[in-house]
């Protein structure tokens, strides 16, 4: 350390070694010049510590959140519509259709099939209207859940 002030600042900040601190402490007690500079620095240090922070305008927080909202709104449609959402919904429909086809094939009564008099295979499931209703409800629920899940993942990724 070069000069008295630098030593005293380090002593006040506690950034000097224990030995240095002891030596500076002794100098402050014994040397009038050191004592004078020490008092000045301590006062300035106290004044700086008691400085008040500046206050921004009342609408500051509101403006920040508004900027965030505007920035999200400004994004082009291409970036707001995530292709993963579209792909997810498409995959859901494909899986549903595939599962239905498998179910249909499994449930076909092949014994009614004759070579001379062909009749369509019979499905041994619920009544037609109930089945359609259930299927429609399932598909809607599935699509809704897939959309919610994928959108949540997308939001977290973009924050």
Partner 1 sequence: MQNKLSDTVLIDQTLAGNQSAYAELVKRHQRFVFTLALRFVKKREDAEEIAQDCFVKAYRSLNQFQHQSKFSTWLYTIVYTTAMSSLRKKQLDISSIDDEKNTIQIEAFSTGYEMNNVEKKSRSFYLNEAISQLLPDDAVIITLFYKGEQSIDEIATTLNIEKNSVKVKLFRARQRLKEKLEHILKHEVKELI
Residues of the shown chain interacting with partner 1 in the complex, contacts defined by CB under 8 A = 5-6, 9-10, 13, 15, 40, 43-44, 47-57, 60-61, 63-65, 67-68, 71, 152, 155-157, 159
- Closest approach, Cβ 143 to partner 1, in A, equals 22
Q: Closer to partner 1 at the Cβ: 92 or 153?
A: 153
- Closest approach, Cβ 23 to partner 1, in A, equals 18
- Closest approach, Cβ 137 to partner 1, in A, equals 28
- Closest approach, Cβ 43 to partner 1, in A, equals 5
14: left (phi over 0), alpha (psi -120 to 50) or beta: left
Contact 131, 125 (CB under 8 A): yes
Q: Closer to partner 1 at the Cβ: 93 or 149?
A: 149
Q: Closer to partner 1 at the Cβ: 47 or 78?
A: 47
SS3 for the chain is: CCCHHHHHHHHHHCCCCHHHHHHHHHHHHHCHHHHHHHHHHHHHHHHHHCCCCCCCCCCHHHHHHHHHHHHHHHCCHHHHCCHHHHHHHHHHHHHHHHHHHHHHHHHECHHHCCCCCCCCCCECCCCHHHHHHHHHHHHHHHHHHHHHHHHHHHHHHHC
- Closest approach, Cβ 53 to partner 1, in A, equals 4
Q: Closer to partner 1 at the Cβ: 62 or 93?
A: 62
Q: Closer to partner 1 at the Cβ: 12 or 89?
A: 12
């Amino acid at each position: 350390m070069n000069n008295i002030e630098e030593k005293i600042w380090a002593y006040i900040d506690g950034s000097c070694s224990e030995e240095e601190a002891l030596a500076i402490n002794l100098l402050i007690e014994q040397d009038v010049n050191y004592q004078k500079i020490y008092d000045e620095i301590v006062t300035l240090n106290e004044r700086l510590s008691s400085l008040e922070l500046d206050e921004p305008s009342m609408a500051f927080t509101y403006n920040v959140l508004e900027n965030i909202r505007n920035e999200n709104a400004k994004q082009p449609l291409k970036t707001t519509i995530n292709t993963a959402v579209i792909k997810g919904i498409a995959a859901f429909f494909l899986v549903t259709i595939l599962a239905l086809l498998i179910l249909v094939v499994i449930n076909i009564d092949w014994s009614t099939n004759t070579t001379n008099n062909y009749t369509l295979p019979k499905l041994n499931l619920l009544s037609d209207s109930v089945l359609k209703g259930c299927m429609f409800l399932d598909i809607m629920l599935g699509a809704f859940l897939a959309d919610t899940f994928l959108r949540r993942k997308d939001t977290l990724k973009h924050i």
